[in-house]
Amino acid sequence: MGTPEFVLDLRAKIGHDPLWLAGVTAVVVRDGDVLLVERADNGRVTPVTGIIDPGEDPMTAGIREVSEEAGITAKPEALVWVHALPPMTYPNGDQSQYLDIVVRCRADGGDPHPADGENTRAWWCPVSELDAAGLDPDMRERIRVALEHEGSARFTA
């Protein structure tokens, strides 16, 4: 789907100035596998990620993003981690910072595929192969926290 309409509307008003956004990372699990996607814009391998829309809660956003990006259905299980990402500047000059909310979800149906053009691949990666999947350390940590989650959420700056 690309950049949400509400972000484009804000950018029309504020230009490239810093924008604080809430994001979601949906770590979807199924029988010892984790759903991964390969992003079309930069080739990065990640769990499904996205921006939370106004009025949307993080769990709903995670499930929506999984459906939009990987074409499967999932059910939310737990809020596992809330953390602030460092400020970033996109190639077009837009500045953003994200409060990322990691949710663990259980696969509910469908076969993963790049459903909306944001990804070139979507697949089930065995947990035992995550270290070789091409994940950067931040994404690998999000998955680790989701897989090891027991009890309350982790909050970090």
10 assigned to some structural domain: no
Predicted confidence band at 156 (pLDDT cuts at 50, 70, 90)?
low
Q: Is the pLDDT of residue 37 over 70?
A: yes
- Provide the residue range defining the domain that includes 101: 17-156
Tell me whether residue 8 is in a domain: no
Average pLDDT of the residues of the chain: 94
Please write the tens of the pLDDT for every residue from 40-79.
Answer: 999 999 999 999 999 999 999 999 999 999 999 999 999 9
User: Three-state SS for 55?
Assistant: coil
Query: Does 152 have pLDDT greater than 90?
Result: no
- The two tokens of residue 143 are 């998955």
In a domain, 138, yes or no: yes
Q: What is the pTM (predicted TM-score) of this model?
A: 0.91
- Number of domains into which the chain is organized: 1
Are the C-beta atoms of residues 28 and 35 closer than 8 Å to each other?
Answer: yes
- Does residue 130 fall inside a structural domain? yes
Cβ–Cβ under 8 Å, residues 46 and 37: yes
Element (H, E) at 14: helix 5-14
- One-letter-per-residue 3-state SS of 78-121: EEEEEEECCCEECCCCCEEEEEEEEEEEEEEECCCCCCCCCEEE
How many other C-beta atoms are found inside a 10 Å radius of the C-beta of residue 75? 12
Kindly tell me if the per-residue pLDDT of 154 is higher than 70: no
Q: What is the pLDDT of residue 64?
A: 97
In a domain, residue 146? The reply is: yes
CATH of the domain at 88: 3.90.79.10
For 51, phi then psi, to 5°, come to -95, 135
Structural domain contains residue 6: no
Looking at residues 94-115, what average pLDDT do you find? 96
pLDDT of residue 1: 58
pLDDT digits (tens, 9 = 90+) for 49-59: 999 999 999 99
Is 142 part of any domain? Answer: yes
**Within a domain: residue 61?**
yes
Q: What's the pLDDT score for residue 150? A: 82
